Structure 1
Amino acid sequence: MSGVSLTWPWALVALLVVPVLVVAYRRGLRAQERRRAALAADGLVTAAPDRSRRRHLGPALLLAALTVVLLSLTRPVAPVAEPHREGTVVLAFDVSGSMAATDVKPSRLEAAKAAARAFVAKQPPSVRIGVVAFGGTGLVTQRPTDDRAAVLAAVARLKPSGDTSLTDGILAGLGAIVGKPVKPPVDTENGPAPGTGSGSGATQETPIGYHGGTAIVLLTDGEDTTDAGPSAAAELASSAGVRIEPIGLGTPAGTTIQVDGFTVATALDEPSLQAVAQRTGGTYRRASDAASLAAVYDAIDVQWTTRTVPHEVTSWLAALAGLLLLGGATVSVLRQGRVV
C-alpha cells in the first residue's frame, strides 16, 4: 500500500521463517512420496499419488496466515480516509440600533445571540467559527477558530447601535474567511461601487481566491440604511465559493424603537435578504423567535469531506490472518481429515 510505514521495521526479520517453512513443506512432500512408493511396492497403497494443485491450497492458506501475522509484528501505519465535517462558518451579526427591537423576544439581537450559543455548542472541532459585527461598518470581532470559549465571548460582547450596511457585513465576513481585509468591488466602467448592482464590470482589486466549504450566516433584519444595496458584495462572495445564509430577524409588520428620543419604525426587509441568498446559493430563512432561530441554525449545512489520517493497521492484518487461518484449516480438514 502506498504511504505505509512500519513502526518496528526490524520485525521483518521474522519473515525469514517463511522460506524455511516452504522448503520444509517441499521436503515433507518428497518424503511422503517416497513412503508411498515404498508402500505401493508392497501392495499396501495405490501407486498414483495426488498430483492436483488443489492439495497445496490448505497449506498455502495456512502459510499466508503466518506471513500476515509476522507482518503485523512490524505495527504498520497506513493513511486512512476519514469522513468528517469541515469548514468555516462566520456568524455576521447586525448590531445596528434596529436590532434592539422586541418583535422577537427578548430582542432581535439577544435572540440571535442565544441561538448562536446553541449552534456553537453543536459544532465539531473541525468546524472553525468566526464572529463579525456590522452596523454602519463591519468589524471582525473574532477570527475563525476552534476555540469555542473565544467565540462565545465575542458573541456576548455584541450590543446594538448605529446604522446598517449589509455590504460591510458581507465584506467583513469575507475578510474573516480570507484572513485579510476585503475591499468593496470596483466597477471598471463607473469607478468604486461598494454594494452597487451586479454590473458586468464589477471586480475585486486583489483576488481573494476560492474558499469552498465556507458560509456566512447573516443575522439581520435586512434594513440597509446605505444608498447602495449588497448585490455586488454578494456576487463577490459567490465568486469566492462562499455561501451566504441570511436569517431574517423581526416581522414584516415591524415595530417601533426609541432612538435619541425619537420613535422610529423598523420592520424585517425580506426581499433584499432573499436576493443575497439566491445570488450565493444560500437559503433565506425567517426566525420569528429564539426557538425557530435555533432550528434555522440546525438546518445550515457544513461540508462533509474526507481527510487522510495515519492509523496503525495491525488489527486489520490480524483479522486478515484469522480469516486465512480459518480458510486453510477448513480446506485441510475437508481434504485430509486433519489441519496439518
Structure 2
Amino acid sequence: MNADRGQPRRQGPANAEAGGVTLEYPLQKEALAAWRQMLQSNRPLNAGLIFDRFVANTGDPLARAGGRARGQDAKGQAWGELVAVSSRADGNLLQALLARWRAIAQAAGATPFTLRTDWRLVAGLGRGGPLEAGFTFGRHGFPFLPASSLKGLARAYGLRQLAQQLKLSRLNLEGAGEAQSQRLGKLAKLEKALMDEGELAKAWAKAGLPQPVPPLAHDWRAIFGTTAMAGGAIFLDGLPTKPPTLALDVMNPHYPGYYQGDAFPDDSQSPRPIRFLTVDKDNEFTFAVGWRDVVEDEGGRRLRLAADWLRQGLMRLGAGGKTSAGYGYFV
C-alpha cells in the first residue's frame, strides 16, 4: 500500500520486464497512523486478525528498494512485525477460551490430554493470504489444529493399525490403464470396505480381505462411521494451553521456474527463499475426544481407543504440513 492519497499507480519497469504489472493502491494516512500507534502501545494484539488482513506498506522507506527486492523487503518487514505481535497475545482471552473448551469436553465425556511440539509445527501452509504462505489462526488470534484435521489424523492411524494387524501391503495406485479394481491396493480396499454403508461382513468378503472380520474393524467403523452413518467419536480442536511462541522459517526452492512449469531444472535458476510462519518447539497443546451416546461404546473402550489413535497419530504421523521434513510431531 502507498501511504499517499491518489489513484492506483503502476510499478516501475523492473516489474514490467517480468511480464506483469503491479498496482499500488492508496492507504489512508490515518490508517497507517493507527497501525503504528497500535504497534507502539502495550495493549494485547490479535496476530490472526493482522495476519489475515495485513497489507504490506510499500510507502515505508524499508520497502523502497524497487522491483522484486522491494516486494521481498515489504514481506520481510511484515513477517517480522507479525512475530513481534504474536508475543503480545491476550493470555486472559485464551484462558477464557480454554474454559469453554473444557466445558464442551466434559459435556462430551472426553478426558483431555496434553502434548508438546517436538519441533516446529506449521498448520494451514497452503491457505491463501496477503503474505502468500498461509497459517491457521483461530478467530481469537491463537494457532490451533482444527478438529476435522485431528479426526483425519486419528482415522489414518487407526487404518494403519488395522492394516498391520491384517498384514496388508501399502496403497498402490500404479497402472492407470488397468481397471479400477486392479489398481486399488489392499489398503484402499480395506478403507472402502470399512466405509461401505451396508453390512460389514458382506463388504469385507466382496473386497477379498482376510477372514474373519477382526473386532478392530468393527471398532474403527463405530468410531469414524460410514458413508451412511456418523461415527461415535467427537473430536475437539487442539488448542495451545498458553500463548505459543511463533517463529519464522524458510523454504528455499532451487528451481522456481521448474516448479512453476516454465523451465527445466538446471543450475541457471536462482534459489527463491519463501518465508513461512510456524509454532516453535516445546509449545504445549491440549486435545480431547468425546463420544456420541447413540453409538455403542462398550463401556468407554472405543472412546479410549479413539483418543489413543489420536495421541499416537500426533506422535508418530505428525500434524500439519511438512511432516516428511520433521515438522508437526508431538511428544
Where on the TM-score scale, by shorter chain, does this alignment land: which range? under 0.3
| Greater gyration radius | 1
> What TM-score comes out, normalization by structure 2 length?
0.21
